Amino acid sequence: MPSWCQCVRPRSKPNRLYSAASTCPPLASRKPTRRSHVCPPAFSQNDREYLLTANENVMVCVQIESRKGVENVERIAAVEGIDMIFVGPNDLAASMGHVAFDHESIPEVQEAIAHVLKVGLAADKFVGHFAVNAEAAAKRIHQGFHFVNCGADIVALTAWMTGEMGKLKHLVGIDS
């Protein structure tokens, strides 16, 4: 069960991040009653079994999506219990004063991404990256990223809907 922590800033004690992301005591600061009611059945467990083993199934992922995150990535990567560092390139580019979707062509952003990858690998963390299409995903995999999500739900839904509306217009004779 992944726990995603967005906009990580290590101003407070970084180890609190792991505690907040963990599911159940003794590692978590959250109450066990706040767990998802979906989880025990998903793991074929009753509530008690789930509470006793939930922390064994937690993957803590932090997103680096700001200039501050890049500046502090060494400290973030050093936090025990963080399993993956994930780059959000659009938000990262925007935080650096650029148009978000232009991140692939901006050297400053690409250097920051390369730095995050280098630090994450050196800290023995999984490193992930968002990609808008298969070509961008393949590029990131070849660079050494372990996890690359290819596309986004809204992008896929928009492309599908645009295609379907185009077909519908053609089928009803509204080709324009």
Q: Tell me what pLDDT residue 44 has.
A: 82
Reading across the β-sheet that carries 147-150, which strands appear in turn? 2-5, 59-64, 84-87, 126-131, 147-150
Confidence of residue 18 (pLDDT cuts 50, 70, 90): low
Q: Kindly give, in sequence order, each residue whose CB lies less than 8 Å from that of residue 31, ignoring residues fewer than 6 positions away.
A: none
For residue 91, pLDDT beyond 90: yes
For residue 112, pLDDT beyond 90: yes
Q: Tell me what pLDDT residue 101 has.
A: 85
For residue 15, pLDDT beyond 80: no
Among residues 110, 125, 116, the alpha carbon closest in space to that of 61 is found at 125
pLDDT digits (tens, 9 = 90+) for 24-60: 655 655 555 555 666 677 778 887 887 787 777 778 8
Q: Tell me what pLDDT residue 75 has.
A: 96
pLDDT digits (tens, 9 = 90+) for 125-165: 999 999 988 999 999 999 999 999 988 788 789 989 999 99
First vs last C-alpha separation in the chain: 48
Q: Tell me what pLDDT residue 127 has.
A: 98
Q: Tell me what pLDDT residue 11 has.
A: 47
Q: Kindly give, in sequence order, each residue whose CB lies less than 8 Å from that of residue 146, ignoring residues fewer than 6 positions away.
A: 84, 126, 127, 128
pTM assigned to the model: 0.72
Q: Tell me what pLDDT residue 154 has.
A: 83
CATH code for the structural domain at 2-22+58-151: 3.20.20.60
- The domains of the chain are located at 2-22+58-151
What is the spatial distance between Cα 126 and Cα 120, in angstroms, rounded to a whole number?
A: 7
